[in-house]
Structures are given as structure tokens and as C-alpha cells.
Chains A and B, each alone.
Chain A
Amino acid sequence: MDLTFQIQGGDFTSAGAASSQVRRTLKELGVDASVIKRVVVALYEAEVNIVAHAYKGEIMAQISPERVFLKLTDEGPGIPDIEKAMTPGYSTASQEVREMGFGAGMGLPNISRNADVFNIHSVPDRGTTVEITIQIS
């Protein structure tokens, strides 16, 4: 099953709506609760990153009986130094992002921790792509 969502940068009211939809779908499919939690926690942090740091983006969720594959592509400033961005505590988030309960530099490390396979690549001034794979069985 394939699901796609369009994400708008700066739209904090809707941030998490895509993750919520993916969660509902996985629940309907009867996926184990601990697997669902890993998928949606990783996806939610990645979705919030598009809202917080990029102009706009797209989320593609591919669900098969064996695994969940998530691909998040955005148009935005990109990440000049990925290793630095992955460091716990590193953040360039605005005050507005902090007021929403994010922006402590814990998102990318937590995404990586929940994923079985995690890939990130970025072109400065163009955008960022994040790929997350989580095994179901």
C-alpha cells in the first residue's frame, strides 16, 4: 500500500497529520503496537523537520507485510553538514519551533534510533531527503 502526503513548511497546526494517518492505517492492518510506535515516532520527528526547517515537502509511505518504507523529500535550505546535524543537541530551530515543543536537536538522532535502516542526504539550498525503513516481521 502506498500513501502520499504534501507537507507545508511553517504549518504547525497540521504538523503530525500525515503521521497520524499512517498510524491509523498500520493499526487497521493489525501491525504490532511497538512497531507502530517506532514508525510513527520516527515519521513524526521527520514530518516536524519539514514543517520546522523546509519550505515544503512530500511524504511517501510504502507499507508491505514485511516492512514500512518512508521517504520524505523536501525543498528547503538543506543541511550543509549532516554529521553535525545528527549530533544530539545540535539545532538551528527558531523560537517558534521551540514554542511547539521541538527544536532541541533530538529529532534526527531519535529517527535514526527507531529506524532499522536510515538514510539522509541533502543538497544545500535545494533540499533534503530522508529514508526510513522499519521491519514488521
Chain B
Amino acid sequence: MTIHEIVSLVQGKVLSGKITQEEGIEYCFASDLMSDVLTVCRSDFMLLTGLSNVQSIRTAEMSDLKYVLLVRGKTPPQEMIDLAEDSGIVLIVSPYSMFKASGILYQAGLKGVF
């Protein structure tokens, strides 16, 4: 699924990084628990989370992820946006809840990691 499609499906807004028309992602993992995310060996997934602080960006960085989708319409602290920008991570925010965003994206074809 292209990142542009994902952004529009969740009524998202891109707060850091640039996305091309073509780039996309096949898998997603949803969690507020960063230790959980850090147990996933693969790196080809988007992180969907409600954790609105720098540790979700750090976790994406260590996990070698490029996309973080922050749900529940949270306004991330500026330091989180700056860190995402510095780390080359695309930070997207959505007004939807984790359940709603997950459901919509799953139905549209985004796959779970496990």
C-alpha cells in the first residue's frame, strides 16, 4: 500500500519527512509498548502507536523503521517532530483511535507482522 493511500485513509497529516508518490509499505505493527516493538526482528513495517513522545521515534530508529503513525489526534511535542526529522523518519498523525486506524488499514490490505 502506498504511504499516500495510508495517509488519506486515516485522514492523516505528515509532520516530518517527505514521501514520494510510489513509496509504500506492506506490514504494520500496532503497540504503545516500545519493548514489544523492539522484539520484532524484521524492519519492513510501519509503527502504529498512541505513544506521543520521543521514545516512539527512538524505537523506530533502533528498529530501522521509516514510518510512524501516531493515532488519537495527539499533538506531538516539538522535540518528537524534530527528532523524527533528524532521524529521517516520516511521522504521520491521525485523529482516529488505534482500533479504528488499524481496522481501516487492515481492511485496505495492510498486513500484520505476525
Contacts and interface: CB of A to CB of B under 8 A. Distances in A.
A binds B: yes
Interface of A: 12-13, 15-16, 19-20, 23, 33, 36-37, 40-41, 44-45, 99-104, 106-107, 110, 113
Nearest to B79: A13
A40 to B, nearest CB: 5
11 contacts: A16-B62, A20-B61, A37-B43, A41-B38, A44-B38, A44-B62, A99-B53, A100-B55, A101-B59, A104-B35, A106-B35
Contact of B34 (A19, A33, A37, A102): A102
A41 B61 CA distance: 10
Given A19-B62, A33-B43, A101-B59, A107 B35 contact: yes
A112 B73 CA distance: 36
Contacts of A102: 33-35, 55
Nearest to B86: A20
B53 A100 contact: yes
Given A100-B53, A102-B34, 19 more contacts: A13-B54, A20-B58, A20-B61, A23-B61, A33-B43, A37-B43, A37-B63, A41-B63, A44-B62, A45-B35, A99-B53, A101-B32, A101-B34, A101-B35, A101-B51, A101-B55, A101-B59, A102-B33, A106-B36
B16 interface: no
B56 interface: yes
A127 B39 CA distance: 26
B26 interface: no
A16 B58 contact: yes
B43 A101 contact: no
B47 to A, nearest CB: 11
A111 to B, nearest CB: 10
Given A13-B79, A45-B38, A106-B35, A37 B62 contact: yes
A44 B58 contact: yes
B64 interface: yes
Given A13-B79, A15-B55, A101-B51, A41 B62 contact: yes
Nearest to A107: B35
Of A13, A23, A41, A110, chain B has the most CB atoms within 10 Å of the CB of A41
Interface in B1-51: 32-36, 38-39, 41, 43, 49, 51
